[in-house]
């Protein structure tokens, strides 16, 4: 059956985002626009606007729409902002951010995922997104500093290089916790460099694996 993806997307925004308190119109518009189904394999298109995360291969997942909305609303990127994302995965969150910010730099650890994300983002014409494959816990020194940083994998703590590469006045959104459950944290870097850390919702992400994340076996 040929699905009406525009209708599914509209329903997703109304029932999963607006109904649960997402208010930022720019975020809602972006998620109404980005064709989420194209970021998963065709066999999953029917389920791609459902209220859950989905597998994207390599043991990784595309986040639940609500979680993408919450994180984007918390980050609140400005149209002139340069944003860093750690954990490209499917590329969906990067596309949503690219609708709102002037440039998105996104880093993925797994080469096959980074390449696939690049293909979809090229197909959709996102020329303001740079995708690279390396351990994103080091940040992206050549592109720093950033107005905003979003980490879409679970981290045991805030990776130090990321904090260093965040502008004063900038904000980082990152799930902090163990492998099984995390708290979404919002870190505001104040003028002078002090960091104000606030808790948001509980969440479950795949682990951030790297020098400043979890070890490769996930422990």
Q: Is 152 left (phi over 0), alpha (psi -120 to 50) or beta?
A: alpha
Q: Does 92 bind ligand SAH (CB under 6 A)?
A: yes
Closest among 84, 102, 5 to 93, alpha carbons compared: 84
- The whole-angstrom separation of Cα 165 and Cα 160 is 9
Contact in structure between 68 and 61 (CB atoms under 8 Å): no
Q: Which of residues 6-65 bind ligand SAH (CB under 6 A)?
A: 60-63
How many separate helices (H) and strands (E) can be counted in the chain?
6, 9
Q: Which is nearer to ligand SAH, 157 or 196 (CB)?
A: 157
- Select from 77, 136, 170, 177 the one that contacts ligand SAH (CB under 6 A): 136
Q: How far is the CB of 11 from ligand SAH (least distance, A)?
A: 20
Q: Is 25 left (phi over 0), alpha (psi -120 to 50) or beta?
A: alpha
- Select from 109, 116, 118, 171 the one that contacts ligand SAH (CB under 6 A): 109
- The whole-angstrom separation of Cα 172 and Cα 213 is 16
Q: Which of residues 189-218 bind ligand SAH (CB under 6 A)?
A: 206, 208-210, 213
Range in contact with ligand SAH (rule: CB under 6 A) among 41-49, 73-81, 130-138, 167-175:
130-138
Q: Which is nearer to ligand SAH, 55 or 193 (CB)?
A: 55
Q: How far is the CB of 92 from ligand SAH (least distance, A)?
A: 4
Q: Does 90 bind ligand SAH (CB under 6 A)?
A: yes
- Per-residue contact flags (x/-) with ligand SAH for residues 137 to 176, judged by CB under 6 A: x--------------xx-----------------------
Q: Is 63 a catalytic residue?
A: yes
- Directed axis angle between helix 65-75 and helix 25-33, to 10°? 140
Quick one: 58 exposed, middle or buried, by C-beta within 10 A (0-12, 13-18, 19+)?
Answer: middle
- Directed axis angle between helix 25-33 and helix 5-12, to 10°? 150
Q: Which is nearer to ligand SAH, 28 or 31 (CB)?
A: 31
Residues near ligand SAH (CB under 6 A): 60-63, 86-87, 89-90, 92-93, 107-110, 113, 135-137, 152-153, 206, 208-210, 213
Residues with catalytic function: 63
């Amino acid at each position: 059956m040929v699905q009406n993806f525009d209708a599914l997307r509209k329903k997703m925004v109304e029932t999963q985002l607006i109904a649960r308190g997402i208010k930022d119109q720019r975020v809602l518009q972006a998620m109404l626009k980005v064709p989420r189904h194209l970021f998963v394999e065709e066999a999953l298109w029917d389920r791609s606007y459902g209220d859950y995360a989905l597998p994207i291969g390599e043991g990784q997942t595309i986040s639940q729409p609500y979680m993408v909305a919450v994180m984007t609303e918390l980050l609140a990127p400005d149209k002139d902002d340069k944003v860093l994302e750690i954990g490209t995965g499917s590329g969906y969150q990067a596309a949503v951010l690219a609708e709102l910010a002037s440039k998105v730099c996104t880093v993925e650890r797994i080469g096959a995922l980074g390449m696939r994300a690049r293909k979809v983002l090229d197909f959709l014409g996102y020329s303001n997104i740079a995708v690279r494959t390396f351990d994103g816990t080091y940040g992206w020194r050549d592109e720093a500093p950033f107005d905003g940083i979003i980490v879409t994998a679970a981290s045991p703590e805030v990776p130090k290089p990321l904090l260093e590469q965040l502008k004063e006045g900038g904000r980082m959104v990152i799930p902090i916790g163990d492998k099984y459950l995390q708290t979404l944290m919002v870190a505001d870097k104040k003028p002078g460099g002090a960091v104000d850390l606030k808790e948001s919702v509980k969440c479950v992400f795949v682990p951030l694996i790297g020098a400043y994340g979890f070890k490769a076996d996930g422990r």
